[in-house]
Structure 1
Amino acid sequence: MPRSHAALWRDPALPHVESRRACQSRACYKAHSHPTFSIGAVDAGVSHFTGAGDGQQRLTPGTLVMVPARRVHACNPEPGQAWSYQMLHVAADWLAQLRLESGLGGAGPGEPARICREPAVYRQFCELNGALFSSASIAEKDAALIAFLGDLDFSAHAPLAAAPALGASALSGLLAHIEGQDPAQLNLDALARKAGLGRYQLIRAFRAATGFTPHAYLLNARVNRGRQLLGEGQPLAEVAYRLGFADQSHFQRVFKAHVGVTPGQYRGN
């Protein structure tokens, strides 16, 4: 049987978000509220949730619950049983500003929680949390958070509007600007101002035009350039430096995630 354990992620560089993972937990919680907008996900076991406005709900693996700030709620495992879950907390004022600049609505403080049983949303949430707990850069983590929260259907009523279009010249200018950046320093705020869009709207427009978020596009471009340099016989450390990665190990992780082999294996050494 897996041991009970928990892990907390937070970073002073991203003070508006923190996340927690718990495995095989038997902890029980009294009714409470948070000053943050919170998203919980059940990974294993069964829990019972109150706070969605219509009595107690039974949550099975793959279920998400979205809890507005200051909404009283409780979520506990079945008596005598353990469960595994993830919990993300986002500062309510930061989220409100993100939704406002993107022209999106949101769940107001104290409104009922919303339960989501869509497998795709659960998978996207797990990918986001995986990124937060990973060694990805701060900029990558913040962009992943913005993309997930922008895509999230808070109301379950209003369909998401079409992504804004980027003209050919605007897209060309953004691509040139992005490709000239250090991956760890790519600034989503600056890109959004350059495009005249909100941060989430930029991500949607860029993703519609290229299939990538700006950070993913930059990493993909770096990896493709890395293939070329490695094919020319350049040393791994030199390639990592020329591509703007913080160190050789970061380059190796990104390269393998894209190509399926390490840079050394790709080069044939």
Structure 2
Amino acid sequence: MSRAVAAPPAGCWWADPALPFAESRRARHSSASYLPHTHPTLSIGAVDGGTSRFACGDERAVLGPGTVVLIPAHQVHACNPLPDGCWSYQMLHFDPAWVAAVLDEDSAAQARLPARVMASPRAYRLVCELNRTLFSPADSVEKDAALVAFIGDLHAAIDTGAASRTLPAPAAVSARVAQLCELLHERHAERLPLAELARASGLSRYHLIRAFRAETGMTPHAYQLDLRIQQGRRLLRQGAALAEVALALGFADQSHFQRAFKQRVAMTPRGYQRAA
């Protein structure tokens, strides 16, 4: 499908302390590949050029120009170019509570945007128009209005029958896995051997990995790394030094932190901090 709006200029990141509930990233001709990961945000991506393989839970899709994807907070996913290929894309991130509040103000709207892949020229145009405003010199008041309008307009685009494919919600998490997730949240900066996690859950090491991966989409170790990177983003936005963040999050060294961060955020920690 041909795209409705020309691809944006060179890759960059937008964030505004006055509007802490939203961020945006644009990338052009990227060949980088990323590990399965999550975001604490509602993430909305749009493909400007090239082709990408999208994985969300057990679902797989090939995304071409003009495709828009919606990924709820904490849903494991990955989106990578074809082998030896590259692609251009836009990615928006929204605080889920802020999105729910915007939709709650409209009694006709359900306060959620489910996971889905959309082949909708209207939805793609909305992403492009919003980013044009966000990356412009416009005042934060104008950008705030554009963000609110975008959420409402995107919800309407879904409701009016945009060509889309709804992705299934993640499987319910069992009590044992939920308890282990809580432990990993509380002690995400600690080195937690698999044997210790198995004892805490009352499962064998093998069954722990199987159950945890089936219900979260990740192994316990990958889940813990993901939590560390999410906390790292918060600390970097607050101005913490790179070495301090790596130490606080339990990484063996700064290079290990940088490698894990780039594999999930699509940029280096220093680049992210400068942009944010």
CA offset at residue 66 of structure 1?
0.7
- 1:153, 1:13 → 2: CA distance? 24
- 1:94, 1:63 → 2: CA distance? 24
Deviations, residues 119-153 of structure 1 (Å, cap 9, x unaligned): 12211210101100001111111111101101213
Q: Match of 1:81, SS?
A: coil
Query: 2:130 is matched with which residue: 128, 131, 139?
Result: 128
User: Which residue pairs with 2:112 in the alignment?
Assistant: 107
CA offset at residue 157 of structure 1?
5.3
Q: Is the 8 A contact 2:68 2:118 kept in 1?
A: yes
User: Which residue pairs with 1:42 in the alignment?
Assistant: 47
Query: 1:152 is matched with which residue: 133, 151, 154?
Result: 154
Structure with the greater alpha carbon radius of gyration: 1
Q: CA RMSD of the aligned region, Å?
A: 2.2
> Where in structure 1 do 4 or more consecutive aligned residues deviate above 6 Å?
none
Deviations, residues 158-189 of structure 1 (Å, cap 9, x unaligned): 88xxxxxxxxxxxxxxxxxxxxxxxxxxxxxx
Query: 1:32 is matched with which residue: 37, 40, 44?
Result: 37
**Overall identity of the aligned pairs, in %:** 51
Query: 145-154 or 42-51, which moves further after superposition?
Result: 145-154
Larger RCO, structures 1/2 (Cα 8 Å, 6+ apart): 2
Matches within 5 A, 1:1-269: 6-51=11-56, 55-103=59-107, 104-107=109-112, 113-153=115-155, 156=158
Q: Is the 8 A contact 2:123 2:157 kept in 1?
A: no
Give aligned pairs, total. 152
Unmatched segments (≥5 aa) in structure 2: 1-8, 162-276
Deviations, residues 202-252 of structure 1 (Å, cap 9, x unaligned): xxxxxxxxxxxxxxxxxxxxxxxxxxxxxxxxxxxxxxxxxxxxxxxxxxx
Against the structure 1 CA distance between its residues 125 and 158, is the aligned structure 2 distance closer, same or farther, given a 3 Å change threshold? closer
Against the structure 1 CA distance between its residues 137 and 5, is the aligned structure 2 distance closer, same or farther, given a 3 Å change threshold? closer
Deviations, residues 94-128 of structure 1 (Å, cap 9, x unaligned): 111111122221437xx6x2111111221121010
TM-score (norm 2): 0.52
- 2:126, 2:158 → 1: CA distance? 17
- 2:53, 2:101 → 1: CA distance? 32
- 1:59, 1:136 → 2: CA distance? 31
TM-score (norm 1): 0.53
Amino acid at match of 1:147: A
User: Which residue pairs with 1:211 in the alignment?
Assistant: none
Deviations, residues 18-58 of structure 1 (Å, cap 9, x unaligned): 1000001011111111110010000010001111x662101
- 2:126, 2:97 → 1: CA distance? 23
- 2:141, 2:157 → 1: CA distance? 28
- 1:140, 1:90 → 2: CA distance? 17
- 2:17, 2:66 → 1: CA distance? 30
- 1:118, 1:157 → 2: CA distance? 12
